[in-house]
Each structure stands twice: as structure tokens, then as C-alpha cells.
Amino acid sequence: MAAKVRTRYVCRNCGAEHAQWMGQCGTCKEWNTLVEEVRDRVKERGGVPAAGQGSRPVPIADIRAGEGPRTPLGDRELDRVLGGGVVPGSLILIGGDPGIGKSTLMLQTVLRTPGLSTLYISGEESAQQVKMRAERLGGGMGPGQGGNCFVLNETNTQLIFRHIEELQPDLVIVDSVQTLHTAVLEGSPGSVGQVRECTSELMRFAKATGIPVVLIGHITKDGAIAGPKVLEHMVDCVLQFEGDRDHAYRLLRPLKNRFGSTNELGIYEMQGSGLAIVEDPSQVLLGDRGPRPSGVCVAATLEGMRPLLVEVQALVSSAVYGTPQRSATGFDLRRLNMLLAVLEKRCGFRLGQKDVFLNLAGGFRVEEPAIDLAVVCAVLGSNADIPVPMDRCFAGEVGLTGEVRPVTRIEQRISEAAKLGFAKIYVPKGTKGLQGTGGIEVVPIGRVDEVLIDLFG
Ligand code: TYD
Ligand code: MG
């Protein structure tokens, strides 16, 4: 047993050091900001390394850039989001709300990839629970299969490292980082100090052995406390697994990737037997495209690099109470209020005394402004009670003067709409390369009023 490592408590607000934990920082008087850290790490290892030890500066011209070999995980979406499989020695963090499907994703991936030997370290569920889940997932669990996946119930990092060294797996999964604890700190598992120190131990271990590690981390409600947020800068990749728990769709979004683009996006659907890759998301999202009541419009949005057509639904009705209600699901409420103000002030629609409800079908959340035009048309369609034909779709940002502003990658949006059989797409005026392909009519729009005349006369 190594000598007890001395620790200190550092204030995250002002950086002051304290010998013991206190609720309030004695220096800056902020509450709950002290985090336990290891001190004297250098002394612990026997002093400053002599010259010649460690790494040396190398001329950049002599460094061989070529990408190292990557290990594909067998799950097409996951591999693509990672930039083509896992890089040896990398540390990947998968963050998301509890119950969103992080354990399911990792377990089904390793079970369905027989060539990959994995150590699944479960601190949250017992080995039996993991087995039961594996049986539900079905993949690779037939007789003689699943032999490459080992399950370990352990939360002490030092013991975990010993098991990994013994087993030498191709991949290690830690479920979850909040359950780990290292002997060098006193804090309880899940505290900021423990989570950070365990992650940095895993990082050093992964780099030293070349064994890639996937860390699962829960995001707490406020996102900050002991959650993956404190780890983002420490790991190589951060994948966020998100979605509405009441809906089946799940998005896997890279927030950070040292080995690939962060513009990728994986889309899954939670089914009875695990997560299924959604082959053609727009098709699924739009469902059947029969006639709709008023207030429904299709927006050609972009998720990462992928065009995605989503249905925007609006309901406008006279306010029953004095103050009109505004509510938005999957869309920024402030942005909705801004668009309503534009319609009121620039286009002369009286929406001030109306309740406005907005919803994106399928539980999706869209942040990019190109959805504005569809939102505006859905709101006005509901207000006038005139349905918009379902073979139209929209892409354009709406500015404060009511002008329709250009959006990125318009060609991709147009071709996705054409692929799905839309007859007409409204796009911002002045965008280049507006040739309609595949029989779709491309209608350039300069101001919101123009699209309204075209739609509602
Ligand atoms: P889980 O992977 O345990 O979430 P996390 O690890 O992110 O906390 O997923 C839990 C949810 O997924 C749970 O509500 C049940 C559901 N689920 C299915 O619908 N189908 C399945 O095949 C599995 C394994 C889980
Ligand atoms: Mg889990």
C-alpha cells in the first residue's frame, strides 16, 4: 500500500487552497466551491525527473502524421460519430441524462461485435443486471457467443487497472464515472474531486497502455455538479446522447473530438430490443404525408452535416386569460417571441392577444435559425386557419426587419427535400447555386411577406 497521498481543497472560484473541506471558501466567501485535489504529485513519484527522462522536443517536420489504426466498434452510427472507430489509447466520454440509453448503447455495441474483446465495468448495476439487459438486447448472446465481453463489478480505480492489465481487452467501458473512486482522495464517489481524479487516472492509464476507454457519465439536472461538464477538457472525445424520454428518438452528438469532426450526428430509435439505427431520419420524422390541418409546415434543417426535415406544428388561438400564453417545445421560446414580434411589427399581424403554441414533431430540438421560416408559416397558417400543402418545405432565417436571411448548405437541404418528393422549397433570396435538382421547384424569398402571398394569397 502506497503512503497516503496528501490532498488539498482548492476553491473553484478564487483558487484559494485549504487544508480541509469547508462549506464556504474562507477567502472569497463563495459556498460549495471547494474541490479535493491531490497535492505533491511530483514528490510522490520521487522528485522532479532528471534531464533526459520523459519526452524530448522533436522538430515538427520529423513527426509522422499518418493516422494510427482505428478499431471499428461495429455500430455504424457510433463509428461515424467517432470519426471512424476508436483511436488506441483514447478516452471517450458519453454523457447524457439518466435513462436515456447510454448503457444500452455501449452494451449492445460490444455484444454485437464478436471480434472485440471488452471489459464492461459496471458500478451501477450488478453483473446479473447487466446479463439480464444483455439477454433483452439479444445480439451475440446465443450459445458460445458473447464470450468476448467480460463484466466486472468494481469501483476502485487501482483494482480496475489491475484487472485490465490482466485481461488485456481491446476496449474498456466504465459505467459510470460517477461510481468510481480512487484511494488517493477522501471524497465520496461522484464528488467533483473524485470524478476528476479518476478520469485523469484513466486518461494516463489509457495513454500508457494504448487501451481505449469509454466513460459513461450522467449529466445532473444543473449540468455542472460532478457531471461530465467538469471532464470535457480532460478527455479526447465527448459524445452527448440526447433525446426526449417520452419519444423514441435518440441523437448522438459529438461535442468535442480530437480525432474527427464534431459535425456528425447519429440517430437511433429506442425499441424493445435496444437501439436501432434510423436509416432515413427525415422519412421517419415526417411520417405519412397526407393532408394536414392548418398550422403544420416542414422545415429543411441541418443537424451537424446531415439535412433533416422536421415537421413544425403551431396552434394559434384567442387568449382566454388576460396574458396570452406562449409555449415552445423543441424550439427556443425567446426566438418564438422574437418572430411573433416581427410578424406584428413588420407584417401587421395582430398576434398580441393570441395564445401561440409551437411543437416540433418527434421530440426533436432544433437550434439553428434556418427553421424560422417554417415556424413563421406554421404560425400564420394556424392563425388564418389555412393549411399549407404538404409538398412544400422551408429553409430560411428570419431577421428583425422581416427579411429572409441566407442559411448554410442550402444545396444539401434542397436535395434532401427533392429526394423526399417535395414539390416546392422556399429558400432565402440571393443564395447561390439554387438550381432545383430532381424536379423540385426552388422559390427564392426576400421577405416574409412574399412567402405569405405565395402560400395564402
Ligand atoms: P439505459 O441504457 O439504462 O440508460 P442510461 O444508461 O443512459 O441511464 O436505458 C434505460 C431505458 O431504456 C429504460 O427506460 C428502458 C429503456 N430500454 C428500452 O426501451 N429497450 C431496451 O431494449 C433496453 C435495454 C432499455
Ligand atoms: Mg446506465
Q: Which residue has the higher pLDDT, 430 or 199?
A: 199
Distance CA 11, CA 33 (A): 5
Q: How far is residue 447's CA from residue 347's CA, in Å, rounded to a whole number?
A: 10
pLDDT, tens digit (0-9, with 9 covering 90-100), for 81-115: 999 999 999 999 999 888 899 999 999 999 888 78
Atom of ligand 1 nearest to the CA of 102: 7
User: Which atom of ligand 1 has the smallest separation from the CA of 104?
Assistant: 2
pLDDT band (50, 70, 90) for residue 394:
very high
With b for 16 or more beta-carbon neighbours within 10 A and e for fewer, the 195-234 pattern comes to bbbbbbbbbebbeebebbbbbbbbbbeeeeebbbbbbeeb
Task: Return the pLDDT at 428.
Answer: 94
- On the 0-12 / 13-18 / 19+ scale of CB atoms within 10 A, 237 is buried
125-135: pLDDT as tens digits: 999 999 999 98
CA of 215 to the centre of ligand 2 (A): 11
Grade residue 142 by pLDDT with cuts at 50, 70 and 90. Answer: low
CB of 104 closer than 6 angstroms to any ligand 1 atom: yes
Distance CA 156, CA 160 (A): 6
What integer pLDDT is reported at residue 381 of this predicted model? Answer: 94
Q: What is the mean pLDDT of residues 377-383?
A: 95
Residue pair 423/391 in contact by the 8 Å Cβ criterion: yes
Question: Does the beta carbon of 95 sit less than 6 angstroms from any atom of ligand 1?
Answer: no
pLDDT at position 362: 76
**pLDDT (tens digit per residue) in 175-226:** 989 999 999 888 888 888 888 899 999 999 999 999 999 999 988 655 444 4
Per-residue pLDDT tens for 235-288? 999 999 988 777 788 989 888 999 988 888 888 999 988 999 988 878 777 777
Ligand 1 binding pocket includes 250 (Cβ within 6 Å): no
| Complete domains list, the chain, with CATH | 1-45 (no CATH), 71-277 (3.40.50.300), 284-456 (3.30.230.10)
- Which residues make Cβ contacts (< 8 Å) with residue 309, sequence separation at least 6? 282, 285, 286, 298, 299, 300, 301, 393, 416, 417, 420
The per-residue pLDDT for 148 is 85
Q: Is the pLDDT of residue 3 over 70?
A: no
Please state the φ and ψ torsions of residue 215, each to the nearest 5 degrees: -105, 130
Lowest mean pLDDT across 47-51, 310-314, 384-388, 411-415: 47-51
pLDDT band per the 50, 70, 90 thresholds, residue 42? very low
